[in-house]
Structure 1
Amino acid sequence: MGGTKVAFRAEPDGADAHESSFNWPESGRTADDITALHRHAEEIRARTGQPVAAVGVAVPATLDADGRVTSWPTRPFWRGLDLATVLGELFPRAELHWADDGDLAALAEAQASGRANLVYVGVGTGIGGGIVLGGRSVPGPRRGSCELGHLIVARQGERCDCGRRGCVQAEASGPATLRRASAARGARVSFAELRHGYAEGAGWAVAAVEHSCAALAAALVGVGELVRPDAMVIGGGFAAGLPGFVEETSRQAALLSRQGHPPAPIGPAVLGGKSSLHGAVLAARGGTGA
């Protein structure tokens, strides 16, 4: 589950995997979101023709131990929703697992890349992140999630959805970058226009992207000072769809290096924009502790 869309991956026994997705309804009503989830889950079951044994869900919302949403800044109307019950109704008799999308993405990336010590950040509607050390998610099950997107990188920066100022999410997410580009251009900028403008070297696009990459680099370098990963990877739909974004973030991180302590290499996510989706599959298979 993301801030803009929901992606599904089904792995039936003896058949090829099936992927599909849909965008959340624009009504801002929880009931409409749940109806859309039900409709798509039914389509998935019909296509696979098999009962669902286990389900993993990667979700950016904060959940309590019972699976109730306590916070989701980009979908505030979900607060208080009993997600565990909703999932049980979507997939009756299936074994259910859920965890933070960034944590699951990091585990999937660590497995896909063969690295036991890795930092992941996903840049999309929001910014999620995860840390894997020694092959295990940090901070770990029942200790909360790795909220890399809410590291403060600019004390007087933009207001974040969480209410604070200067979180990396407020400075470097997809919507934040588009807002900055729009302000610089003096007209609303779409993602396609930003991508084209950045490729052509348009000043308004370059400035917006460089600001976001610098903020993200600051967060990654800070985390790197604490955990010393073997590598740091950037995924998420926004980053995956904007050529040069990862490279610019790596360049900005290099500018922040200190003598004798260069930052870990920064590269694109092995799984592209689908790291969280594959992490959800890991959760369904019980390979994450989620």
Structure 2
Amino acid sequence: MPGPLALALDFGGTKLETALIDSDGALVPGSRHRRPTGPAATSDELAARVAEAIRASLDAMPVGAALAGAGIGAAGPVDLAEGTVSPLNVPAWRGYPLAGLVSSLVPGVPVTLRIDGLCIALAEHWIGAGQGAGNFLGMIVSTGVGGGLLLGGRAAPGTTGNGGHIGHVEVGGHDEPCACGGRGCLEAIASGPNSVAWARRHGFTGATGEDLAAAYAAGDAVARAAVERAGTALGRTIGSAANLVDLDRVAIGGGFSRVSPDLLEIARRALADRSDFGFVRRVEIVASALSDEGPLIGAGALVHRPDRI
């Protein structure tokens, strides 16, 4: 008989994905489905797309398998007490009861909601690049910049569920306005869209992170400056986080984290320049070991690894 499965939902600023996750952290073949999100979608459209993807994943349930629970990783902020999400880059959903929507689609099954950054951290700590780390930060650098913390090997979501939201830590030397209302936040500097926007203000003619990656590889000066700027901001912010919670390791994933193999090395140099404290300089910055499956695996970990949450 198949073991118990988790229904995983990853809801982000560009897309949502669903899949079934087994107790080893593997995706069930044929169960992964994707739908668009984005700033132009209406609330009803988003809800319908979540329902479509969940039903498609459930259709791939192996014969004899049971659903142990549903895990949701959502772009923040979130409100755990209310079960609501307010993804910064999806304005149609402010205080939207996503946990309730999922519960209505899988009645009688426990549903757990956490911020997507914490899900990527849980996934990496479970079967990825964070294995064995005591104090661990998982990061997503993509449409936005998110993060999640494990301290002493256990999730540290905070009271509201937004602990580890490193994308909205301010970076010294920057004053760019951020969608959160702050200025100089890491997301405003180092996310894919904001890095491309900065490059375009300085003469770059491309439109996407993929364009920026190609230009960087070709030696374009503005593209190289944009990636240097993003990587430096990442390293400095990780240094601030390490000063606060004494990190052992940081794993970085997400689409824009792959803009160049140089990005993480730039971040490592910036971390080393950030502080003379040995406990800060010792922090390992590594690439995600889970590629783009990490957020879904982490949502599955909310069901399969309750010992870590």
TM-score normalised according to structure 1 size: 0.90
Aligned to 1:38: 51
Counterpart residue number, 1:266: 285
Q: CA RMSD in A?
A: 2.5
Rounded Cα–Cα distance in structure 2 between residues aligned with 1:41 and 1:123: 25
Cα–Cα, structure 1 residues 288 and 31, in superposed 2: closer, same or farther, change >3 Å?
farther
Q: Is the 8 A contact 1:153 1:168 kept in 2?
A: yes
1:281 equivalenced with 2:294 (yes/no): no
CA shift, 1:200, in A, is 1.7
Match of 1:202 in 2: 220
Answer yes or no: is the 8 Å Cα contact 1:257–1:263 preserved in 2.
Answer: no
What's the counterpart of residue 141 of structure 2? 123
Structure 2: any 5+ residue segments left out of the alignment? Answer: 1-10
Structure 1 range deviating more: 243-252 or 145-154? 243-252
Residue 9, structure 1, aligned to residue 19, structure 2? yes
Structure 2 residue aligned with 1:80, among 75, 95, 99? 95
Match of 1:90 among 105, 118, 127: 105
Partners of 2:88 and 2:23 lie apart in 1 by 37
Q: 1:5 to 1:125 in 2, by over 3 A?
A: same
8 Å contact kept, 2:193–2:209: no
1:103 to 107, 114, 118: 118
Letter of the aligned partner of 1:9 in structure 2?
A: A
Deviation at 1:47, TM superposition (A): 2.3
CA deviation string 1:119-144 (max 9, x = no partner): 22210111111221211122546564
CA offset digits 1:140-190 (Å, max 9, x no partner)? 465642211110114652111101111111111111111112222342432
2:92 partner SS: helix
Distance 1:161 1:31, change over 3 A: same
The equivalent position to 1:152 in structure 2, one of 167, 170, 174, is 170
Q: Which moved more, 1:29-38 or 1:53-62?
A: 53-62
The answer for unaligned runs of 5 or more in structure 1 is none
**Could you say if the C-alpha distance between residues 141 and 162 of structure 1 is closer, same or farther in structure 2, counting changes exceeding 3 Å?**
closer
Q: Secondary structure at the match of 2:103?
A: helix
Counterpart amino acid of 2:275?
A: S
**What letter corresponds to residue 154 of structure 2 in structure 1?**
R
- The letter for the 2-side match of 1:87 is V
- For 2:69, the equivalent position in structure 1 comes to 54
What is the SS of the residue equivalent to 2:298?
helix
Identity of aligned residues (%): 30
In structure 2, distance between residues paired with 1:25 and 1:2 = 8
Measured after TM superposition, the shift of residue 251 of structure 1 is 2.2
Q: Residue 114 of structure 1 aligns to a residue in which SS?
A: coil
**1:78-117, CA deviations, whole angstroms, 9 ceiling, x for partnerless residues?**
0132222211223223221111111122122122222222
Aligned runs of 1:116-265 on 2, under 5 Å? 116-140=134-158, 144-154=162-172, 156-240=174-258, 242-258=260-276, 260-261=278-279, 262-265=281-284
Q: Read off the aligned partner of 2:59 and give its amino acid letter.
A: A
Change (3 A) 1:155 1:29: farther
Secondary structure at 1:76 match in 2: coil
Asked if the contact 1:126–1:169 (Cα under 8 Å) also holds between the matched residues in 2, the reply is yes
Q: Distance in 1 between matches of 2:119 and 2:69?
A: 16
Structure 1 CA distance for aligned equivalents of residues 71 and 108 of structure 2: 14
Q: Which amino acid aligns with 1:23?
A: P
* Aligned partner letter, 1:238: F
